[in-house]
């Protein structure tokens, strides 16, 4: 696939603009999505290549008008974020790259600096069809960089090599959450030649470790002030943290709603919130999105009989979900299995103490340590294993699926321990050999086959 410069970001902007307009009338949009479903649902082909990802992002025709209304606010936040990146490309303001676990507030607290997260391409490259991911990966392969590095990181690199991302004025990278992100940060710094500051991160969630992380965040802001010659707006930071606190309160509630039987069925929405937080934490639109999603959840808990029809069994995805093609709605529609929890859609965040800038920065640091993927990947195995045990118990899971993401070396190294956890809880586990971003490793059709065999073999489907 040949990509024109900035084609992916421009597609995202076009999609977000469309979403903002269409989702303003959620019931009408709901009808439209239902009508389009036969063309979109089962597989990607010539006619739906450019739009299927968008269809999947809004629930693959399984979402209610309420969920669509919530997503409109994510579209507005997405549009603002990517439009600013293109404006920066055109020289309107400097662009700062942030490694994805770096709190976006570090850069978005400046009034006149555009923030960008190169890893966003792991999620958005599909806007031109699933070959978008492959195009970025192939660019890296042509460059001679080994595929030992996680595909998510290689997609970011490839996007830069293919002129999908503007060159940064500065980079803030982070020693989180894995070797692949560490080495890719070094590669991005080398290839772009931009000045960089590296944040070392906490290995536990203990106060002393979080304090170090927080100290690094202050230093990163000072680095950006020096490098860019601009002043950080601390009042804006305070406002963003207040917004984050409010968003988190809703996300915590929604996560608890997913634990009830039947579940509120909002894990896909929480996954969206995870992605939106990376690029837009502190944006009031995300509070609106979370609030609307929360209202959907309340309605569903009030009328559980509606969800009982949908939910036949409950699944924990002990991994990142497959990104190149959304699977949870397919599982729900085909088998009646509801993904109630996963690596990133389990959003339990501590309240941030607003007393002072120091407590707020500590809170932001801790917030990102509780974000999915960081939460499980840093430190010792208990961060992952205890989390899985807790999820199995709290979410009353009937089975566990691990996609077996190829790039996730630390997670792959825990498969015996994870299997034993499931054995102790007497629930079956499926460990696949997929790559969540690279369909060439295991295609959508193969994944569906594995899932079908697993559900049939364990009596969840016939």
Partner 1 sequence: MTIFNEIRQLAQSTANDYLTRARHRGHPTVGYFCSYVPEEMIHAAGAVPYRMRAVGSEGTSLGDTYFSSANCSFVRRVLDKGLRGDFDFLDGIVFMNGCDHNRRLFDNWSYAHPDTGFNYMLFVPHGRSEACLAQYGNELAKLGRFLEERFDTELTAEKLWNSVALYNRKRALLQEIADSRRAAVVPISGTEFLSLMLAVSVVPVEDAIALLEQVLAELRAGRIHTGQAVLRLFVTGSCLEELSHLELLESAGAVVVADAICLGARYFELPVPVGGDPLAALGERYLRNLSCPRMMDDVAGRIAHVRERVSDFGADAVILEKLEFCSMMSGESYISSHELRKFDIPSITLTRELYGGGVGQLKTRIQAFYEKVINRS
> Where on the chain is the footprint of partner 1 (CB under 8 A)?
143-146, 148-150, 173, 175, 178-180, 182-187, 189-190, 198, 200, 203, 208, 212, 215-216, 219, 379-381, 404, 406-407, 409-410, 412-417
Tell me how far, at minimum, the Cβ of 212 lies from partner 1, in Å. Answer: 5
Tell me how far, at minimum, the Cβ of 422 lies from partner 1, in Å. Answer: 15
Residues 142-171 as b/e (b if ≥16 CB within 10 A, e otherwise) read eeebebebbbbbbbbbbbbbbebbbebbbb
Tell me how far, at minimum, the Cβ of 180 lies from partner 1, in Å. Answer: 5
Among residues 175 and 373, whose Cβ is nearest to partner 1?
A: 175
Q: State the Cα–Cα distance between residues 405 and 411, nearest whole angstrom.
A: 8
HSE-CB for 282 with a 13 A CA cutoff: 22
Tell me how far, at minimum, the Cβ of 407 lies from partner 1, in Å. Answer: 8
Tell me how far, at minimum, the Cβ of 145 lies from partner 1, in Å. Answer: 5
- Asked if 437 and 408 count as a contact pair (C-beta separation under 8 A), the reply is no
Tell me how far, at minimum, the Cβ of 201 lies from partner 1, in Å. Answer: 8
């Amino acid at each position: 696939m040949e990509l024109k410069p900035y084609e992916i970001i421009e597609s995202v902007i076009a999609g977000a603009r469309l979403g903002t307009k269409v989702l303003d009338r959620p019931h009408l949009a709901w009808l439209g999505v239902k009508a389009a479903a036969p063309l979109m649902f089962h597989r990607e082909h010539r006619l739906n290549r450019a739009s299927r990802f968008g269809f999947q992002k809004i629930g693959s025709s399984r979402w209610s008008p309420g969920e669509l209304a919530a997503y409109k606010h994510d579209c507005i936040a997405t549009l603002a974020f990517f439009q600013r990146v293109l404006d920066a490309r055109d020289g309107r303001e400097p662009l700062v790259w942030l490694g994805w676990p770096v709190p976006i507030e570090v850069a978005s607290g400046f009034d006149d600096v555009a923030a960008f997260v190169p890893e966003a391409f792991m999620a958005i490259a599909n806007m031109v069809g699933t070959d978008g991911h492959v195009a970025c990966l192939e660019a890296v392969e042509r460059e001679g960089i080994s595929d030992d590095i996680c595909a998510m990181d290689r997609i970011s690199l490839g996007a830069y090599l293919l002129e999908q991302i503007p060159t940064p004025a500065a980079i803030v990278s982070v020693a989180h959450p894995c070797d692949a992100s560490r080495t890719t940060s070094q590669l991005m710094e080398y290839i772009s030649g931009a000045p960089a500051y590296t944040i070392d991160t906490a290995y536990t969630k203990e106060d002393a470790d979080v304090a170090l992380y927080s100290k690094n965040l202050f230093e990163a802001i000072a680095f950006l002030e020096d490098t860019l010659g601009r002043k950080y707006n601390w009042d804006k930071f305070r406002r963003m943290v207040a917004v984050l606190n409010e968003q988190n309160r809703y996300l915590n509630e929604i996560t608890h709603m997913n634990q009830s039987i039947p579940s509120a069925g909002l894990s896909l929405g929480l996954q969206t919130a995870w992605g939106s937080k990376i690029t837009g934490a502190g944006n009031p639109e995300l509070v609106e999105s979370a609030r609307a999603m929360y209202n959907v959840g309340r309605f569903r808990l009030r009328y559980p009989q509606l969800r009982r029809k949908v939910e036949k069994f409950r699944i924990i995805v002990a991994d990142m979900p497959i990104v190149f093609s959304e699977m949870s709605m397919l599982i729900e529609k085909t088998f009646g299995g509801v993904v109630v929890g996963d690596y990133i859609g389990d959003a339990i965040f501590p309240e941030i103490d607003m007393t002072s800038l120091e407590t707020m920065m500590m809170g932001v640091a801790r917030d990102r340590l509780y974000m999915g993927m960081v939460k499980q990947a840093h430190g010792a195995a208990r961060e992952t294993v205890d989390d899985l045990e807790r999820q199995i118990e709290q979410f009353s899971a009937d089975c566990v699926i691990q996609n077996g993401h190829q790039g996730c070396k630390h997670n792959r190294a825990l498969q015996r321990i994870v299997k034993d956890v499931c054995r102790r809880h007497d629930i079956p586990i499926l460990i696949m050999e997929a790559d969540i971003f690279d369909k060439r490793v295991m295609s959508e059709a193969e994944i569906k086959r594995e899932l079908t065999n697993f559900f049939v073999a364990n009596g969840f489907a016939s």
